[in-house]
Amino acid sequence: MKPICRIMITLCLPLLFCDPVWAQHTGPYVGAFLGGNALADAKSSDDQGSFNLKFKPALQGSFVLGWDLAANNPVGEGRLELEYSRRSNPLDQVRFAEGTFKGNGDMTVDSLLLNCIGVFRNRSPWAPYVVIGLGAARMEASGLQVTGHPLSNDKATVFAYQLGTGVDYTLTDYLSFDLGYRFFSSTQPRFTEANGRKFETDYFSHSVILGLRLGF
């Protein structure tokens, strides 16, 4: 009996003092994300002066198609991916020099970005990462109104980018859970007002997202 116990202890000791080695997926993957999106107050201006647009928080959705880079490759640890996202925030208030007025309508943004993601892997299933993305966004000022009066109903395509961070959790060799933060912005879109004037506006958004990635 004692020899058997000694053999079992010998086999189990490495498991007690060593972290498990988690398999790293290499190759293509797809993913889907859902999160909350909040816009900073948008400073806007036309030839009559400046005004601010305030939007309500809303949901956003994203789909990604990417590639997990192999370990010890010359580029570094991480992923490359193409991301499509959709954000649509209702207009809440419009603030002019004369006062603040009720707003209606939506600011809807469809973006397509190429993300470069650096992943910091260790011997645990958790892996923090940072991301930078560059691409384009199609922005639509859909039925924007001030106290029921039309403000704008126009579209614009602009350069867009995002910065972010987060953490992956490896569920299986091919499935990972992702929790992250994204700061998304763009060059100023230019829209036509209902009276024919042009106005430019800022766009800065903060998002917390979660999703799953499936390798194949």
pLDDT of residue 24: 73
pLDDT in tens, 168-201: 999 998 999 999 999 999 999 999 999 999 999 9
pLDDT of residue 147: 95
For the chain, the first-to-last Cα distance in angstroms comes to 47
**Weakest-pLDDT range from 22-31, 74-83, 112-121, 168-177:** 22-31
pLDDT of residue 72: 78
pLDDT in tens, 126-172: 999 999 999 999 999 999 999 999 999 999 999 999 999 999 999 99
Residue 193, SS3? strand
Phi, psi of 19 (to 5 degrees): -75, 150
Bridge partners of residue 96, in order along the sequence: 99
Residue 195, SS3? coil
pLDDT of residue 71: 80
Compute the distance between CA of residue 164 and CA of residue 118 in angstroms, rounded to an integer.
11
- Please tell me the pTM assigned to this model: 0.86
pLDDT in tens, 116-129: 999 998 888 999 99
The most confident of the ranges 6-20, 42-56, 69-83 is 42-56
Which domains are delineated in the chain? 2-215 (2.40.160.20)
Compute the distance between CA of residue 147 and CA of residue 102 in angstroms, rounded to an integer.
5
- Is pLDDT at 33 greater than 80 in this prediction? yes
- Is pLDDT at 77 greater than 60 in this prediction? yes
pLDDT of residue 70: 85
Average pLDDT of the residues in 64-75: 86
Residue 71 is inside which H or E element, if any?
none
Residue located via tokens 């560059």? 134
- Is pLDDT at 5 greater than 70 in this prediction? no
- Amino acid letter, residue 51: F
Compute the distance between CA of residue 196 and CA of residue 193 in angstroms, rounded to an integer.
5
Compute the distance between CA of residue 51 and CA of residue 212 in angstroms, rounded to an integer.
40
Long-range contacts of range 183-189, CB-CB < 8 Å, 24 or more positions apart?
A: 183/207, 184/85, 184/87, 184/111, 184/160, 185/160, 185/161, 186/109, 186/137, 186/139, 186/158, 186/159, 186/160, 186/161, 187/158, 187/159, 187/160, 188/158, 189/139, 189/141, 189/156, 189/158
pLDDT in tens, 101-113: 999 999 999 999 9
